[in-house]
């Protein structure tokens, strides 16, 4: 037998010894071939039986083998692995960062921030990096996105400007401080201000000025004119107004309107035009601490009685009637988005139940929450009834005093119908929950002397002394006047309260900031009104201004204070202090809500 080359092959029959071919290669015996086949099948069987482990191990081993080869490494890992790739773009001449440049890496694109930086998440391996911006020469280069990320390491790329580089500065009109992340758009390009409020806009050559727009989160957009200059000119130093609207009453039109403006007094708009039926002294506008809702008390719809309205500033200043009827409304103020008030119904007789009621309007849910109603017994000749002699908002609670009185058509010294009654100090959350009797006063049956009217206990004087602290005095027919303090849900007799009422001194009204963490008040010191900021309890005071004609009006966010002059001019200034900026003249009703900390516009 010959092989393909014609060489003789010797075949030995009946032997199982290895033989060699013409090339001296060992030819395995039949037994060896069978043995190897059996072993291979055994290994294959084991591999298949344990395939849940063996297959992943085989794949991993293959990948690790291929990963050792540079040519195949990134092709393999690029199929499933992505990595962050940081790029920083600067001007080739000035070295300053270039904002709003378009950075494209592979199929991903991002825009640089005010620091000229951006990060793209893309597959590892070789990619094409392209950077473009109007009035700059584009850059294109090949880069390798590595398998591992190096924190703080940027791919540095410089672009050559083809236009004029114009520096621009942006500051807060109310504080004078620089503002970052303000976008300056002009001539089909843009730049973003950095921490120092500076931005460099590259504009085409051949023109002296360009119209531009300033925009950014938290500010009102502003149209400006940029003068082309490589130096920072006063004409290119712009101040922008923080976003927000201040609402107030105005009689500028001859009627009492509800008006709003931007924080600097610009962009004045009439929210609710007066009808001419408003009462000169009783029209009241009180703002919630976040300015999302306003409570308006007005006779704008005509008739004998005023109505209580809601203005929803979140829904295009929608007007909603809160409560109405033949009644007098006493306003207590806002606790978050609940507005607390008292109703005295004129069409209900004194000896009939529910003549007086305490309510809170849930502005979010658009519903009235009944907090309390008075009781009464008897008829027109002889009756007893309850009255609310005072009520104050303390945080989310309304604290109030309920007192009983007896009326008879003849002289008497006994009032047995009162013997089972109690006057009370009560607290209740404005959502109607957590009602508590803080203090009760038992009523005696008789008094000395003859009368047709008997009020065992009365408390017509009360004041929010400090945030979360209320003073009141209690008078009785059978005892001396007593003085109490309400603090932390407890009531106790208090000498400081006695000194306060007997001295007749005034005490500042503390206005809480929107989140309740700070307070704002005014005190007279050395003949001048001095403005103070303190913590939630009115402590740790910090003087921010001595301005003899200004007093507090409210807060706007946690950053700005509203103050008034002569109860007719409204100003705004930063919490840190500074020069107040006039917002507008405004109309103020005769009544002052002293001690009112549940909203703004009451004093």
What is the tens place of the pLDDT at every residue in 332-369?
999 999 999 999 999 999 999 999 999 999 999 999 99
Same domain membership, residue 220 and residue 195: yes
Tokens of 179: 């503002």
Residue 586, pLDDT score: 96
Same domain membership, residue 27 and residue 96: no
CATH number at residue 111: 2.60.40.1120
Q: What is the DSSP track for 291-329?
A: SSEEEEEE-TT-SSS-EEEEEETTTTTEEEEEE-SSEEE
Confidence of residue 148 (pLDDT cuts 50, 70, 90): confident
Residue 14, pLDDT score: 46
Confidence of residue 246 (pLDDT cuts 50, 70, 90): very high
Same domain membership, residue 521 and residue 577: yes
Quote the CA–CA distance of 262 and 73 in Å, as a whole number: 60
What is the tens place of the pLDDT at every residue in 89-109?
999 988 889 999 999 998 899
Residue 598, pLDDT score: 77
Q: Per-residue pLDDT averaged across 491-496, rounded? A: 96
Asked which of 61, 77, 93 is the last residue of a domain, the reply is 77
Asked whether residue 23 is assigned to any structural domain, the reply reads yes
Quote the CA–CA distance of 255 and 582 in Å, as a whole number: 22
Residue 62 has pLDDT above 90, yes or no: no
Rounded (5°) CA angle 34-37-38:
85
Residue 53, pLDDT score: 74
Same domain membership, residue 210 and residue 146: no
CA 595 vs CA 176, 251, 405, 512: distances in Å: 33, 26, 27, 11
The average confidence (pLDDT) of the chain is: 88
Asked which of 240, 273, 299 is the last residue of a domain, the reply is 240
Residue 11, pLDDT score: 46
Asked whether residue 473 is assigned to any structural domain, the reply reads no
Q: Are strands 125-132 and 117-123 parallel, antiparallel or unpaired?
A: unpaired
Q: Per-residue pLDDT averaged across 126-147, rounded? A: 90
Asked whether residue 4 is assigned to any structural domain, the reply reads no
Tokens of 310: 């809601």
C-alpha neighbours within 13 Å on the C-beta side of residue 579: 5
Q: Per-residue pLDDT averaged across 482-499, rounded? A: 95
Same domain membership, residue 68 and residue 26: yes
Strand segments, DSSP code E, in 415-476 are: 422-429, 436-442, 446-454, 457-458, 462-466, 469-476
Sheet of 569-574: strands edge to edge?
550-556, 560-565, 569-574, 581-585
Asked which of 115, 134, 159 is the last residue of a domain, the reply is 159
The neighbour count for residue 42, using CB atoms within 10 Å, is 10
Asked whether residue 70 is assigned to any structural domain, the reply reads yes
Same domain membership, residue 171 and residue 144: no
Asked whether residue 505 is assigned to any structural domain, the reply reads no
Identify the weakest region by mean pLDDT among 15-29, 129-143, 160-174, 463-477: 15-29
Asked whether residue 173 is assigned to any structural domain, the reply reads yes
Same domain membership, residue 581 and residue 520: yes
Residue 524, pLDDT score: 86
Task: Name the residue range of residue 135's domain.
Answer: 82-159
Same domain membership, residue 533 and residue 570: yes
Asked whether residue 532 is assigned to any structural domain, the reply reads yes
Same domain membership, residue 196 and residue 136: no
Residue 326, pLDDT score: 97
| Cβ-contact 22, 37 below 8 angstroms | no
Quote the CA–CA distance of 281 and 157 in Å, as a whole number: 68
Same domain membership, residue 28 and residue 57: yes
Residue 313 has pLDDT above 70, yes or no: yes
Q: Per-residue pLDDT averaged across 61-71, rounded? A: 56
Residue 297, pLDDT score: 97
Q: Per-residue pLDDT averaged across 547-573, rounded? A: 92
What is the tens place of the pLDDT at every residue in 401-449?
999 999 999 998 888 888 889 999 999 999 999 999 999 998 866 676 7
Query: What one-character DSSP code corresponds to residue 161?
Result: B
Residue 12, pLDDT score: 47
Residue 39, pLDDT score: 64
DSSP3 helix / strand / coil % (the chain, rounded to 5): 10, 50, 40
Quote the CA–CA distance of 170 and 489 in Å, as a whole number: 49
Asked whether residue 155 is assigned to any structural domain, the reply reads yes
Q: What is the total count of domains within the chain?
A: 4
Q: Per-residue pLDDT averaged across 79-93, rounded? A: 84
Identify the weakest region by mean pLDDT among 77-86, 318-327, 540-549: 77-86
Quote the CA–CA distance of 478 and 51 in Å, as a whole number: 97
Residue 184 has pLDDT above 60, yes or no: yes
Q: Per-residue pLDDT averaged across 490-500, rounded? A: 95
């Amino acid at each position: 037998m010959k092989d393909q080359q014609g060489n003789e092959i010797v075949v030995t029959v009946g032997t199982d010894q290895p033989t060699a071919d013409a090339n001296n290669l060992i030819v395995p015996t039949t037994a060896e071939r069978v043995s190897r086949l059996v072993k291979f099948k055994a290994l294959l069987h084991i591999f298949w039986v344990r395939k849940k482990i063996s297959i992943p191990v085989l794949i991993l081993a293959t990948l690790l083998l291929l990963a050792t080869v540079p040519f195949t490494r990134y092709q393999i890992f690029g199929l499933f692995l992505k990595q962050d790739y940081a790029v920083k773009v600067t001007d080739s001449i000035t070295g300053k960062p270039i904002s709003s440049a378009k950075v494209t890496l592979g199929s991903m694109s991002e825009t640089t921030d005010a620091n000229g930086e951006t990060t793209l998440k893309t597959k590892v391996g070789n990619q094409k990096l392209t950077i473009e911006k109007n009035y700059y020469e584009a850059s294109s280069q090949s880069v390798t996105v590595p398998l591992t990320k190096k924190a703080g390491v940027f791919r540095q790329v410089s672009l050559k400007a083809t236009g004029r580089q114009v520096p621009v500065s942006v500051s807060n009109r109310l504080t004078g401080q620089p503002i970052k992340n303000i976008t300056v758009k002009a001539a089909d390009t843009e730049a973003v201000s950095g921490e120092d409020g500076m931005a460099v806009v590259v504009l085409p050559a051949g023109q002296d000025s360009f119209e531009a727009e300033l925009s950014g989160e938290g500010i009102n957009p502003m149209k400006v004119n940029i003068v082309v200059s490589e130096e920072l000119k006063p004409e290119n130093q712009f101040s922008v107004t923080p976003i927000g609207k201040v609402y107030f009453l105005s009689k500028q039109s001859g009627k009492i309107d509800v008006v709003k403006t931007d924080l600097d007094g610009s962009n004045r708009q009439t929210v609710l035009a007066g009808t001419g039926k408003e009462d000169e002294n009783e029209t009241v506008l009180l703002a919630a601490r976040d300015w999302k809702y306003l409570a308006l008390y007005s006779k704008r719809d005509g008739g004998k009685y005023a109505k209580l309205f809601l203005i929803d500033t979140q829904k295009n200043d929608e007007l909603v009637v809160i409560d109405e009827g033949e009644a007098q409304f006493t306003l207590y103020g806002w606790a978050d988005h609940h507005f607390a008030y008292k109703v005295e119904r004129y069409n209900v007789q004194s000896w009939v139940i529910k003549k007086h009621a305490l309510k809170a309007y849930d502005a979010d849910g658009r519903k009235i929450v009944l907090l309390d109603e008075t009781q009464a017994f008897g008829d027109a000749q002889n009756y007893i009834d309850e009255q609310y002699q005072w009520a104050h908002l303390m945080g989310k609670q309304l604290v109030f005093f309920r007192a009983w009185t007896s009326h008879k058509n003849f002289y008497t010294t006994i009032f047995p119908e009162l013997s089972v009654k109690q006057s009370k100090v009560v607290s209740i959350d404005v959502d109607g929950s957590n009602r508590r009797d803080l203090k009760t006063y038992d009523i005696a049956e008789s008094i000395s002397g003859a009368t047709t009217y008997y009020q065992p206990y009365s408390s017509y004087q009360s004041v929010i002394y400090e945030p979360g602290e209320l003073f009141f005095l209690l008078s009785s027919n059978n005892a001396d006047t007593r003085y109490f303090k309400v603090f932390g849900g407890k009531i106790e007799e208090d000498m400081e309260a006695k000194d306060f009422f007997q001295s007749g001194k005034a005490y500042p009204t503390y206005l809480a900031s929107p989140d309740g963490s700070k307070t704002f008040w005014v005190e007279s010191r050395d003949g001048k009104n001095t403005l103070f900021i303190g913590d939630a309890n009115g402590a740790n005071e910090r003087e921010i201004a001595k301005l003899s004609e200004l007093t507090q009006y409210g807060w706007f966010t946690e950053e700005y204070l509203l103050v008034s002059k002569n109860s007719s001019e409204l100003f705004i200034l930063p919490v840190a202090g500074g020069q107040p900026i006039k917002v507008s003249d405004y109309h103020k009703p005769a009544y002052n809500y002293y001690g009112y900390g549940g909203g703004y516009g009451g004093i």
